[in-house]
Structure 1
Amino acid sequence: MSDSHAPADAPLVTPFAAALDAELDLSITRVIRAPRALVWRAWADADRLAKWWIPAPMSLRVDRLELVPGGAFVTRMSEDGETFVPHMNVVFVTVEASRRIVFTNAIDADWRPAQPAPVPLTAEFVFTDHPEGTEYRATARHATAADRASHEALGFVEGWGMVTDALAALAESEV
Protein backbone atom coordinates (compact mmCIF):
# COMPACT_ATOMS: atom_id res chain seq x y z
CA MET A 1 0.00 0.00 0.00
CA SER A 2 1.35 3.47 -0.77
CA ASP A 3 1.11 6.65 1.23
CA SER A 4 -0.13 9.51 -0.93
CA HIS A 5 0.74 11.98 1.83
CA ALA A 6 4.42 11.06 2.26
CA PRO A 7 6.88 13.96 2.36
CA ALA A 8 8.64 14.62 -0.94
CA ASP A 9 11.96 13.42 0.53
CA ALA A 10 10.51 10.17 1.91
CA PRO A 11 11.79 6.95 0.37
CA LEU A 12 9.81 5.67 -2.58
CA VAL A 13 7.37 3.05 -1.29
CA THR A 14 6.14 0.66 -3.93
CA PRO A 15 3.90 -2.38 -3.63
CA PHE A 16 6.14 -4.10 -6.16
CA ALA A 17 9.27 -3.32 -8.11
CA ALA A 18 8.40 -4.20 -11.69
CA ALA A 19 11.32 -4.01 -14.05
CA LEU A 20 10.70 -2.88 -17.61
CA ASP A 21 9.95 -5.77 -19.94
CA ALA A 22 11.07 -5.03 -23.50
CA GLU A 23 8.48 -7.47 -24.87
CA LEU A 24 5.52 -5.88 -23.04
CA ASP A 25 6.38 -2.31 -22.02
CA LEU A 26 6.89 1.02 -23.76
CA SER A 27 8.63 3.81 -21.89
CA ILE A 28 10.02 7.29 -22.36
CA THR A 29 12.24 9.24 -20.01
CA ARG A 30 12.85 12.97 -20.03
CA VAL A 31 14.71 15.40 -17.81
CA ILE A 32 12.43 18.32 -17.04
CA ARG A 33 14.29 21.43 -15.94
CA ALA A 34 11.99 22.13 -13.02
CA PRO A 35 11.79 20.86 -9.46
CA ARG A 36 9.67 17.79 -8.76
CA ALA A 37 7.13 19.93 -6.89
CA LEU A 38 6.33 21.87 -10.10
CA VAL A 39 6.17 18.74 -12.25
CA TRP A 40 3.88 17.16 -9.66
CA ARG A 41 1.68 20.28 -9.56
CA ALA A 42 1.25 20.06 -13.34
CA TRP A 43 -0.14 16.57 -12.76
CA ALA A 44 -2.13 17.25 -9.59
CA ASP A 45 -3.95 20.43 -10.67
CA ALA A 46 -6.77 19.75 -13.15
CA ASP A 47 -6.42 23.14 -14.89
CA ARG A 48 -2.71 22.59 -15.46
CA LEU A 49 -3.22 18.96 -16.50
CA ALA A 50 -5.73 20.06 -19.15
CA LYS A 51 -3.00 22.19 -20.75
CA TRP A 52 -0.63 19.32 -21.50
CA TRP A 53 -2.28 15.87 -21.16
CA ILE A 54 -3.39 15.59 -24.80
CA PRO A 55 -1.39 16.48 -27.93
CA ALA A 56 -2.11 19.86 -29.49
CA PRO A 57 -4.18 21.01 -31.25
CA MET A 58 -6.71 18.90 -29.32
CA SER A 59 -8.41 20.41 -26.23
CA LEU A 60 -9.01 18.55 -22.99
CA ARG A 61 -11.52 18.80 -20.16
CA VAL A 62 -10.81 17.08 -16.87
CA ASP A 63 -14.10 15.84 -15.43
CA ARG A 64 -12.60 13.98 -12.45
CA LEU A 65 -9.08 14.01 -11.03
CA GLU A 66 -9.06 12.17 -7.72
CA LEU A 67 -5.31 11.70 -7.29
CA VAL A 68 -5.48 9.02 -4.60
CA PRO A 69 -5.32 5.22 -4.81
CA GLY A 70 -8.73 4.09 -6.08
CA GLY A 71 -9.56 7.60 -7.32
CA ALA A 72 -11.06 8.43 -10.69
CA PHE A 73 -9.38 10.04 -13.68
CA VAL A 74 -11.95 10.97 -16.34
CA THR A 75 -11.29 13.28 -19.28
CA ARG A 76 -12.97 14.41 -22.48
CA MET A 77 -11.29 15.70 -25.65
CA SER A 78 -12.24 18.01 -28.47
CA GLU A 79 -10.92 18.76 -31.93
CA ASP A 80 -12.78 22.07 -32.22
CA GLY A 81 -12.78 23.26 -28.59
CA GLU A 82 -16.58 23.06 -28.46
CA THR A 83 -17.71 19.46 -28.85
CA PHE A 84 -16.11 17.16 -26.27
CA VAL A 85 -16.14 13.36 -26.49
CA PRO A 86 -14.94 10.74 -23.99
CA HIS A 87 -11.18 10.37 -23.84
CA MET A 88 -10.21 8.46 -20.68
CA ASN A 89 -12.04 6.78 -17.83
CA VAL A 90 -9.51 5.07 -15.55
CA VAL A 91 -8.75 4.46 -11.92
CA PHE A 92 -5.57 5.30 -10.01
CA VAL A 93 -3.89 2.24 -8.53
CA THR A 94 -0.97 3.90 -6.73
CA VAL A 95 -0.30 7.53 -5.91
CA GLU A 96 2.84 8.57 -4.07
CA ALA A 97 2.85 12.37 -3.90
CA SER A 98 5.65 13.94 -5.93
CA ARG A 99 7.07 10.48 -6.69
CA ARG A 100 4.85 8.05 -8.58
CA ILE A 101 1.44 7.65 -10.22
CA VAL A 102 -0.01 4.41 -11.56
CA PHE A 103 -3.39 4.02 -13.26
CA THR A 104 -5.11 1.34 -15.28
CA ASN A 105 -7.77 1.46 -17.93
CA ALA A 106 -8.85 -2.10 -17.08
CA ILE A 107 -11.19 -0.63 -14.45
CA ASP A 108 -13.30 2.48 -15.00
CA ALA A 109 -13.88 5.33 -12.56
CA ASP A 110 -17.01 3.61 -11.23
CA TRP A 111 -14.98 0.49 -10.43
CA ARG A 112 -16.50 -1.58 -13.20
CA PRO A 113 -14.42 -3.86 -15.42
CA ALA A 114 -13.66 -2.02 -18.64
CA GLN A 115 -12.97 -3.02 -22.20
CA PRO A 116 -10.40 -0.33 -22.90
CA ALA A 117 -9.63 0.94 -26.35
CA PRO A 118 -7.42 1.25 -28.20
CA VAL A 119 -5.30 -1.03 -25.94
CA PRO A 120 -5.53 -2.20 -22.34
CA LEU A 121 -2.66 -0.92 -20.24
CA THR A 122 -1.33 0.07 -16.88
CA ALA A 123 0.47 3.42 -16.98
CA GLU A 124 3.20 4.38 -14.54
CA PHE A 125 4.74 7.83 -14.12
CA VAL A 126 7.83 8.20 -11.93
CA PHE A 127 9.32 11.50 -10.77
CA THR A 128 12.89 11.49 -9.40
CA ASP A 129 15.36 14.20 -8.53
CA HIS A 130 17.96 14.96 -11.17
CA PRO A 131 20.83 17.50 -11.02
CA GLU A 132 19.04 19.52 -13.73
CA GLY A 133 15.53 19.21 -12.24
CA THR A 134 13.29 16.14 -12.44
CA GLU A 135 13.72 12.89 -14.27
CA TYR A 136 10.26 11.93 -15.50
CA ARG A 137 9.61 8.41 -16.74
CA ALA A 138 6.31 7.43 -18.38
CA THR A 139 5.71 3.73 -18.94
CA ALA A 140 2.84 1.87 -20.56
CA ARG A 141 2.66 -1.77 -19.44
CA HIS A 142 0.76 -4.22 -21.64
CA ALA A 143 -0.55 -7.74 -21.07
CA THR A 144 0.60 -9.08 -24.44
CA ALA A 145 3.30 -8.38 -26.99
CA ALA A 146 0.51 -7.80 -29.53
CA ASP A 147 -0.99 -5.02 -27.36
CA ARG A 148 2.46 -3.47 -26.98
CA ALA A 149 3.04 -3.61 -30.74
CA SER A 150 -0.40 -2.14 -31.41
CA HIS A 151 0.24 0.74 -28.99
CA GLU A 152 3.64 1.39 -30.55
CA ALA A 153 2.10 1.39 -34.06
CA LEU A 154 -0.59 3.84 -32.87
CA GLY A 155 2.19 6.32 -32.09
CA PHE A 156 3.17 5.80 -28.45
CA VAL A 157 6.57 7.46 -28.85
CA GLU A 158 5.20 10.45 -30.75
CA GLY A 159 2.02 10.92 -28.68
CA TRP A 160 3.45 10.34 -25.22
CA GLY A 161 6.55 12.29 -26.28
CA MET A 162 4.43 15.28 -27.33
CA VAL A 163 2.53 15.39 -24.04
CA THR A 164 5.75 14.96 -22.07
CA ASP A 165 7.22 17.90 -24.01
CA ALA A 166 4.10 19.93 -23.15
CA LEU A 167 4.38 18.93 -19.48
CA ALA A 168 8.02 20.01 -19.49
CA ALA A 169 7.20 23.34 -21.14
CA LEU A 170 4.50 24.06 -18.56
CA ALA A 171 6.61 23.09 -15.52
CA GLU A 172 9.70 24.86 -16.85
CA SER A 173 7.68 28.04 -17.50
CA GLU A 174 6.78 28.13 -13.80
CA VAL A 175 10.37 27.95 -12.51
Structure 2
Amino acid sequence: MNPDLDLTLERVIRAPRAAVWSAWTDPARLCKWWIPAPMTCRVDRLEVRPGGGFVTEMSQDGVAFVPHLNAIFLVVDELERIVFTNAIDSAWRPAKPTPVPMTAEITLGDHPDGTDYRIIVRHGDPADRARHADLGFAEGWGLVTKQLASVAESVAR
Protein backbone atom coordinates (compact mmCIF):
# COMPACT_ATOMS: atom_id res chain seq x y z
CA MET A 1 0.00 0.00 0.00
CA ASN A 2 1.32 3.40 -0.98
CA PRO A 3 -0.43 6.17 1.00
CA ASP A 4 0.41 8.72 -1.71
CA LEU A 5 -1.36 6.69 -4.40
CA ASP A 6 -3.83 4.34 -2.73
CA LEU A 7 -7.13 4.55 -0.86
CA THR A 8 -8.27 1.76 1.44
CA LEU A 9 -11.31 0.49 3.24
CA GLU A 10 -11.68 -2.40 5.70
CA ARG A 11 -14.75 -3.96 7.24
CA VAL A 12 -15.82 -7.16 8.93
CA ILE A 13 -18.90 -8.55 7.20
CA ARG A 14 -20.96 -10.86 9.39
CA ALA A 15 -21.33 -13.53 6.72
CA PRO A 16 -19.13 -16.34 5.41
CA ARG A 17 -16.73 -15.61 2.55
CA ALA A 18 -18.91 -17.68 0.19
CA ALA A 19 -21.84 -15.30 0.75
CA VAL A 20 -19.64 -12.23 0.14
CA TRP A 21 -18.14 -13.89 -2.93
CA SER A 22 -21.61 -14.66 -4.27
CA ALA A 23 -22.64 -11.02 -3.79
CA TRP A 24 -19.66 -10.06 -5.96
CA THR A 25 -20.08 -12.73 -8.65
CA ASP A 26 -23.85 -13.13 -9.08
CA PRO A 27 -25.29 -10.30 -11.26
CA ALA A 28 -28.65 -10.50 -9.46
CA ARG A 29 -26.90 -9.82 -6.15
CA LEU A 30 -24.29 -7.34 -7.41
CA CYS A 31 -26.98 -5.01 -8.77
CA LYS A 32 -28.48 -4.76 -5.27
CA TRP A 33 -25.42 -3.15 -3.72
CA TRP A 34 -22.86 -1.96 -6.30
CA ILE A 35 -24.15 1.62 -6.61
CA PRO A 36 -25.04 3.85 -3.64
CA ALA A 37 -28.77 3.85 -2.90
CA PRO A 38 -31.14 5.32 -3.81
CA MET A 39 -29.62 4.98 -7.29
CA THR A 40 -30.18 1.67 -9.04
CA CYS A 41 -27.74 -0.53 -10.91
CA ARG A 42 -28.01 -2.64 -14.02
CA VAL A 43 -25.32 -5.24 -14.70
CA ASP A 44 -24.57 -5.53 -18.42
CA ARG A 45 -21.56 -7.85 -18.16
CA LEU A 46 -20.10 -9.71 -15.22
CA GLU A 47 -17.54 -12.21 -16.47
CA VAL A 48 -15.67 -12.92 -13.24
CA ARG A 49 -12.48 -14.37 -14.69
CA PRO A 50 -9.14 -12.82 -15.66
CA GLY A 51 -9.80 -10.74 -18.78
CA GLY A 52 -13.57 -10.84 -18.32
CA GLY A 53 -15.73 -7.77 -18.71
CA PHE A 54 -17.26 -5.82 -15.84
CA VAL A 55 -19.84 -3.37 -17.17
CA THR A 56 -22.55 -1.63 -15.15
CA GLU A 57 -25.01 1.19 -15.64
CA MET A 58 -26.75 3.42 -13.10
CA SER A 59 -30.06 5.21 -12.88
CA GLN A 60 -31.57 7.84 -10.63
CA ASP A 61 -35.15 6.92 -11.55
CA GLY A 62 -34.85 3.21 -12.42
CA VAL A 63 -35.84 3.96 -16.02
CA ALA A 64 -33.10 5.96 -17.73
CA PHE A 65 -29.69 4.31 -17.31
CA VAL A 66 -26.27 5.83 -18.03
CA PRO A 67 -22.83 4.20 -18.07
CA HIS A 68 -21.24 3.63 -14.68
CA LEU A 69 -18.29 1.27 -15.07
CA ASN A 70 -16.60 -0.36 -18.06
CA ALA A 71 -13.69 -2.44 -16.78
CA ILE A 72 -11.95 -5.79 -16.90
CA PHE A 73 -11.04 -8.29 -14.25
CA LEU A 74 -7.30 -8.80 -13.93
CA VAL A 75 -7.12 -11.40 -11.15
CA VAL A 76 -9.81 -13.70 -9.78
CA ASP A 77 -8.86 -16.07 -6.96
CA GLU A 78 -12.07 -17.79 -5.96
CA LEU A 79 -13.30 -16.85 -2.48
CA GLU A 80 -10.11 -14.84 -1.86
CA ARG A 81 -9.42 -11.96 -4.23
CA ILE A 82 -10.83 -9.92 -7.11
CA VAL A 83 -8.79 -7.30 -8.96
CA PHE A 84 -10.27 -5.12 -11.69
CA THR A 85 -9.28 -1.96 -13.55
CA ASN A 86 -11.17 0.68 -15.46
CA ALA A 87 -7.97 1.78 -17.23
CA ILE A 88 -8.76 -0.92 -19.82
CA ASP A 89 -12.35 -1.32 -20.95
CA SER A 90 -14.28 -4.54 -21.44
CA ALA A 91 -13.23 -4.64 -25.11
CA TRP A 92 -9.56 -4.57 -24.00
CA ARG A 93 -9.02 -1.03 -25.23
CA PRO A 94 -7.13 1.64 -23.29
CA ALA A 95 -9.67 3.83 -21.53
CA LYS A 96 -9.89 7.33 -20.13
CA PRO A 97 -12.44 6.66 -17.40
CA THR A 98 -14.15 9.24 -15.28
CA PRO A 99 -13.75 10.31 -12.63
CA VAL A 100 -10.31 8.64 -12.35
CA PRO A 101 -8.45 5.60 -13.68
CA MET A 102 -7.95 3.04 -10.95
CA THR A 103 -7.21 -0.56 -10.13
CA ALA A 104 -9.24 -2.03 -7.28
CA GLU A 105 -8.19 -5.08 -5.27
CA ILE A 106 -10.78 -6.73 -3.04
CA THR A 107 -9.60 -9.41 -0.62
CA LEU A 108 -11.67 -11.72 1.52
CA GLY A 109 -10.26 -13.42 4.59
CA ASP A 110 -11.60 -15.46 7.45
CA HIS A 111 -12.60 -13.61 10.59
CA PRO A 112 -14.16 -15.02 13.78
CA ASP A 113 -17.28 -12.93 13.07
CA GLY A 114 -17.47 -13.69 9.33
CA THR A 115 -15.37 -12.17 6.55
CA ASP A 116 -12.47 -9.77 6.75
CA TYR A 117 -13.22 -7.55 3.73
CA ARG A 118 -10.46 -5.26 2.46
CA ILE A 119 -10.26 -2.89 -0.49
CA ILE A 120 -7.23 -1.15 -1.94
CA VAL A 121 -7.89 1.24 -4.80
CA ARG A 122 -4.67 2.12 -6.60
CA HIS A 123 -4.17 5.29 -8.63
CA GLY A 124 -1.45 6.24 -11.08
CA ASP A 125 -0.53 9.54 -9.48
CA PRO A 126 -1.22 11.56 -6.32
CA ALA A 127 -3.57 13.92 -8.18
CA ASP A 128 -5.91 11.06 -9.17
CA ARG A 129 -5.82 9.70 -5.63
CA ALA A 130 -6.64 13.14 -4.21
CA ARG A 131 -9.44 13.65 -6.75
CA HIS A 132 -10.97 10.28 -5.86
CA ALA A 133 -10.73 11.07 -2.14
CA ASP A 134 -12.25 14.52 -2.68
CA LEU A 135 -15.12 13.06 -4.70
CA GLY A 136 -16.09 10.96 -1.68
CA PHE A 137 -14.23 7.66 -1.93
CA ALA A 138 -14.65 6.91 1.78
CA GLU A 139 -18.35 7.76 1.78
CA GLY A 140 -19.22 6.12 -1.54
CA TRP A 141 -17.21 2.94 -1.21
CA GLY A 142 -18.19 2.83 2.47
CA LEU A 143 -21.89 2.97 1.58
CA VAL A 144 -21.68 0.28 -1.09
CA THR A 145 -19.68 -1.91 1.29
CA LYS A 146 -22.44 -1.49 3.87
CA GLN A 147 -24.96 -2.44 1.16
CA LEU A 148 -22.78 -5.45 0.21
CA ALA A 149 -22.74 -6.52 3.85
CA SER A 150 -26.54 -6.34 3.98
CA VAL A 151 -26.88 -8.52 0.85
CA ALA A 152 -24.27 -11.06 2.04
CA GLU A 153 -25.66 -11.21 5.56
CA SER A 154 -29.21 -11.77 4.29
CA VAL A 155 -27.98 -14.71 2.18
CA ALA A 156 -26.13 -16.16 5.17
CA ARG A 157 -29.24 -16.24 7.38
Deviation per CA, 1:36-85, whole angstroms, max 9, x where unpaired?
00000000100000000000000000000000000000011000000001
Residue of structure 1 equivalent to 2:53: 72
Structure 2 residue identity aligned to 1:132 = D
TM-score by length of 1: 0.88
CA distance in 2, matches of 1:104, 1:38: 23
**1:138 to 2:119 alignment:** yes
Q: Report the identity percentage.
A: 62
Helix, strand or coil: the match of 2:131?
Answer: helix
2:149 to 168, 172, 175: 168
1:100 to 69, 77, 81: 81
Structure 2 residue identity aligned to 1:91 = I
Deviation per CA, 1:144-171, whole angstroms, max 9, x where unpaired?
1111000000000000000000000111
Q: What's the offset of the Cα at 1:86?
A: 0.6
Gaps in structure 2 of 5+ consecutive residues: none
**1:112 to 2:96 alignment:** no
Q: What's the offset of the Cα at 1:139?
A: 1.4
Paired residues, number:
156
Residue of structure 2 equivalent to 1:34: 15
Structure 2 residue identity aligned to 1:152 = A
Residue of structure 1 equivalent to 2:33: 52
Q: What's the offset of the Cα at 1:91?
A: 0.5
Structure 1 residue identity aligned to 2:152 = A
Helix, strand or coil: the match of 1:115?
Answer: coil
CA distance in 2, matches of 1:88, 1:22: 25
Structure 2 residue identity aligned to 1:137 = R
Q: What's the offset of the Cα at 1:174?
A: 1.7
Gaps in structure 1 of 5+ consecutive residues: 1-19
Q: What's the offset of the Cα at 1:138?
A: 1.3
Helix, strand or coil: the match of 1:22?
Answer: coil
Helix, strand or coil: the match of 2:127?
Answer: helix
Greater helix content: 2
1:43 to 6, 9, 24: 24
Superposed structure 1 runs of 4+ greater than 6 Å apart: none
